[in-house]
Amino acid sequence: MHFDWIDRAALARSAGAGLSRRGFLKTAGAATGGLVLGFALPGAHRFAQAADAKLHAPNAFLRIAPDNTVTVIVNRLEFGQGVHTSLPMLIAEELDADWSQMRGELAPAGDAYKDPAFGIQITGGSGSIARGFTQYREIGARARAMLIAAAAEQWKVTPSQCTTSKGMVLGPNGQKATYGALADAAMKQPMPAAVVLKEPKQFRYIGKPMRRIDARAKSSGRQQFGIDFKPENALTVVVARPPVFGAKVTKFDAAAARAVKGVVDVLEVDLDRGARGVAVFATGYWPAKQGREALQAEWDSSAVEKVSSAQQLETYRKLAKAPGGAVARQADVSKLGTAAHKISAVYEFPYLAHAPMEPLNCVVDLKDDACVIWAGTQFQTVDQQVAAGLLGLKPEQVTINTMMAGGGFGRRAVPASDWIGDAVRIARAWRSAGKRGPVKVVWSREDDIRGGYYRPSYVHRADIGIDANGQIAAWDHKIVGQSIMAGTLFEPMMVKNGVDGTTIEGMGEPYAVPMNLSVEGVKQNVPVLWWRSVGSTHTAYVMETLIDEAAHVAKVDPVAYRKKLMGEKHARHRAALDLAVAKSGYGTKKLPKGHAPGAAVHESFGSVVAYVVEASVVDGAPRLHRAVAGVHC
Q: Is the pLDDT of residue 23 over 60?
A: no
Q: Domain 227-302+356-450: which CATH class?
A: alpha beta
Per-residue three-class SS string for 443-485: CCHHHHHHCCCEECCEEEEEEEEECCCCCEEEEEEEEEECCCC
Q: What is the pLDDT of residues 306-327, one digit of tens each?
A: 999 999 999 999 999 999 999 9
Residues in the chain: 633
| Helix segments in 242-370, DSSP class H | 254-258, 285-293, 309-321
Q: What is the pLDDT of residues 372-391, one digit of tens each?
A: 999 999 999 999 999 999 99
- Measure the CA–CA gap between 537 and 503, rounded to whole angstroms: 10
Higher pLDDT, 370 or 187: 370
- Measure the CA–CA gap between 554 and 561, rounded to whole angstroms: 9
Q: Are 425 and 416 in contact (CB under 8 A)?
A: no
Signed CA dihedral, 218, 203, 23, 124: sign only: negative
Coil, helix or strand at residue 614:
strand
Give pLDDT, residue 442. 98
Pair type for strands 60-64 and 35-39: antiparallel
Q: Are 61 and 94 in contact (CB under 8 A)?
A: no
User: Each residue of 454-478: b (16+ CB within 10 Å) or e?
Assistant: bbbbbbbbbbbbbeeebbbbbbbbb
CA neighbor of 288 nearest in space, from 362, 237, 231? 237
Angle between helices 536-554 and 558-566 (to 10 degrees): 110
Q: Is the pLDDT of residue 42 over 70?
A: no
CA neighbor of 98 nearest in space, from 147, 148, 166, 180? 166
Give pLDDT, residue 498. 96
Sorting pLDDT into bands at 50, 70 and 90, what band is 37?
Answer: low
Q: Is the pLDDT of residue 10 over 70?
A: no
Give pLDDT, residue 388. 98
Sorting pLDDT into bands at 50, 70 and 90, what band is 26?
Answer: low
Q: What is the pLDDT of residues 417-463, one digit of tens each?
A: 999 999 999 999 999 999 999 999 999 999 999 999 999 999 999 99
Beta strands in 482-547 (DSSP E): 495-496, 499-500, 515-521
Q: CA of 187: how far to CAs of 35, 37, 184, 390, 417, in Å? A: 5, 9, 5, 41, 39
**Which of the residue ranges 1-5, 329-333, 523-527 would you say has the lowest mean pLDDT?**
1-5
Q: Is the pLDDT of residue 44 over 80?
A: no
Give pLDDT, residue 34. 67
What is Dmax (Cα atoms) for the chain?
Answer: 86
How many secondary structure helices (H) and strands (E) does the chain include?
16, 27
Span 215-242, average pLDDT: 97
| Helix segments in 333-405, DSSP class H | 380-391
Q: Are 409 and 360 in contact (CB under 8 A)?
A: no
Give pLDDT, residue 60. 77
- Measure the CA–CA gap between 46 and 125, rounded to whole angstroms: 15
Sorting pLDDT into bands at 50, 70 and 90, what band is 118?
Answer: confident
Percent helix, strand, coil in the chain, to 5, is: 30, 25, 40
Q: What is the pLDDT of residues 540-588, one digit of tens each?
A: 999 999 999 999 999 999 999 999 999 888 999 999 999 999 999 999 9
**Amino acid (1-letter code) at residue 264:** V
Q: CA of 472: how far to CAs of 2, 506, 517, 565, in Å? A: 21, 18, 15, 9
Q: What is the pLDDT of residues 194-212, one digit of tens each?
A: 899 999 999 999 999 999 9
The DSSP secondary structure of 197-226, one letter per residue, reads PPPGGG-SSTTS----TTHHHHHTT-PPBG
Topology adopted by domain 307-352+454-555:
Aldehyde Oxidoreductase; domain 4 (3.30.365)
Sorting pLDDT into bands at 50, 70 and 90, what band is 53?
Answer: very low
The DSSP secondary structure of 387-409, one letter per residue, reads HHHHHT--GGGEEEEEPB-S--T
- Measure the CA–CA gap between 582 and 130, rounded to whole angstroms: 28
What is the rounded (10 degree) CA torsion for 165, 169, 170, 171? Answer: 160
CATH 3.30.365.10 spans which residues of the chain? 8-219, 227-302+356-450, 307-352+454-555
User: Residue 288: phi, psi to the nearest 5?
Assistant: -65, -40
- Measure the CA–CA gap between 99 and 209, rounded to whole angstroms: 12
Check whether the bond before 510 is cis (ω within 30° of 0): yes
CA neighbor of 419 nearest in space, from 538, 627, 541, 277? 277
Taking all residues of the chain, what is their mean pLDDT, rounded to a whole number? Answer: 92
Please name every residue paired with 281 in a beta bridge, in sequence order, or none if there are none.
237, 265
- Measure the CA–CA gap between 10 and 12, rounded to whole angstroms: 5
**8-state DSSP, 42:** B
- Residue 520 CB partners (closer than 8 Å, separation 6+): 319, 320, 324, 325, 326, 478, 479, 480, 481
Q: What is the pLDDT of residues 519-540, one digit of tens each?
A: 999 999 999 999 999 999 999 9
- Residue 60 CB partners (closer than 8 Å, separation 6+): 27, 36, 37, 38, 73
Please name every residue paired with 362 in a beta bridge, in sequence order, or none if there are none.
441
Give pLDDT, residue 2. 54
Q: Is the pLDDT of residue 5 over 90?
A: no
Sorting pLDDT into bands at 50, 70 and 90, what band is 35?
Answer: low
Give pLDDT, residue 236. 98
- Measure the CA–CA gap between 79 and 85, rounded to whole angstroms: 12
- Measure the CA–CA gap between 592 and 626, rounded to whole angstroms: 12
CA neighbor of 521 nearest in space, from 566, 487, 572, 564? 487
Q: Domain 8-219: which CATH class?
A: alpha beta
Coil, helix or strand at residue 286:
helix
CA angle 4, 506, 414 (to 5 degrees): 60
- Measure the CA–CA gap between 320 and 324, rounded to whole angstroms: 9
Q: Are 263 and 320 in contact (CB under 8 A)?
A: no
Coil, helix or strand at residue 296:
coil
Q: Is the pLDDT of residue 59 over 50?
A: no
Q: CA of 442: how far to CAs of 232, 242, 437, 446, in Å? A: 16, 16, 16, 11
Tell me how crowded residue 182 is: count the other CB atoms within 10 A of its CB.
26
